[in-house]
Amino acid sequence: MKIISYNVNGIRSALSKGLLDWLKEASPDVFCIQESKAQPEQIDTDQFAALGYKSYLHSAERKGYSGVGIFSKTAPDLVRSGMDNAQFDSEGRVLRADFGDLTIVCVYVPSGSSGEDRQAFKMQFLEAFLPWLNNLKRERPNLIVCGDFNICHKPIDINHPERQIGVSGFLPEEREWMDRLQASGMIDSFREFNHEAEQYSWWSYRGGARYRNAGWRIDYLWASEPLRQQLRNGDILQEVVHSDHCPVVLEIEK
């Protein structure tokens, strides 16, 4: 089973840059997106259906903002939007789909880079999300959590970490939250297969950052500990360009 997660930074923009052609070739079983920046009626799901995908979308109330989606070749047994928390659910940040005994959660963690208020909101979201996840894991132990976390966990995950002190996305409290996520029994699947530096999934549009590979690894596929023996491969598809992010991949035995 191949799962791909991709912050598309506007699905309509990504579609105009050939997203569907790439998706047809990549052919994941489950395709999770973040930052759709569209209402459901603004996304032509027939295009995805033509490739064999059923579409499930959770958009923000604010138009052109945030939003997550799951596209799957097999219909899930259950799909649920949000965390039953109106403050965060209004921004379209969490979508859950159950496939047999496997649950996939697609998440778009808020960015805190625009100022103190949004950084505080980000930390509030994280502190609500982890208990929600832990409760879900007790009910559904085979769990994959994918998406844009807007956090680099380790110095290896960011370019020139010595220059990023005090920068949102690499703050001590954010990284400590990632430590707690991992300690709760979640596996950073990519690092099970690749321990190399300069493995990034996002680059600023400024200053030729992508050309210089001055990036950040902020997109993850976390797998719960009971799935460890089923992990088969993890990858970052840096050559795929429809967004300022690139897709991340996990293959599991299913």
Has residue 232 got a pLDDT over 90?
Answer: yes
152 phi and psi, to 5 degrees? -95, 120
The string of pLDDT tens digits covering residues 133-150 is 999 999 999 999 999 999
The string of pLDDT tens digits covering residues 156-205 is 999 999 999 999 999 999 999 999 999 999 999 999 999 999 999 999 99
Residue 148 is among the residues annotated as catalytic for this protein: yes
* Residue 8 · residue 27 · CB < 8 Å: no
Q: Give the pLDDT mean for 30-44.
A: 97
pLDDT, position 254: 85
Distance CA 63, CA 76 (A): 27
Q: Give the pLDDT mean for 23-28.
A: 98
* Averaged pLDDT score across all residues of the chain: 98
- What are the residues whose beta carbons fall under 8 Å from the beta carbon of 235, sequence distance 6 or more? 190, 193, 194, 248, 249
Has residue 80 got a pLDDT over 90?
Answer: yes
In CATH terms, the fold of domain 2-252 is Deoxyribonuclease I; Chain A (3.60.10)
End-to-end, the C-alpha distance of the chain in Å comes to 6
Has residue 77 got a pLDDT over 90?
Answer: yes
The string of pLDDT tens digits covering residues 86-135 is 999 999 999 999 999 999 999 999 999 999 999 999 999 999 999 999 99
DSSP, collapsed to helix, strand or coil, labels residue 168 as coil
* Residue 35 · residue 66 · CB < 8 Å: yes
pLDDT, position 156: 98
Task: Determine which one of 148, 157, 188, 235 is catalytic.
Answer: 148
Q: Give the whole-number percent of the chain exceeding pLDDT 90.
A: 99
Residue 117: burial class (beta carbons within 10 Å; 0-12, 13-18, 19+): exposed
Q: What is the edge-to-edge ordering of all strands in the sheet holding 231-236?
A: 54-58, 68-72, 30-34, 2-7, 248-252, 231-236
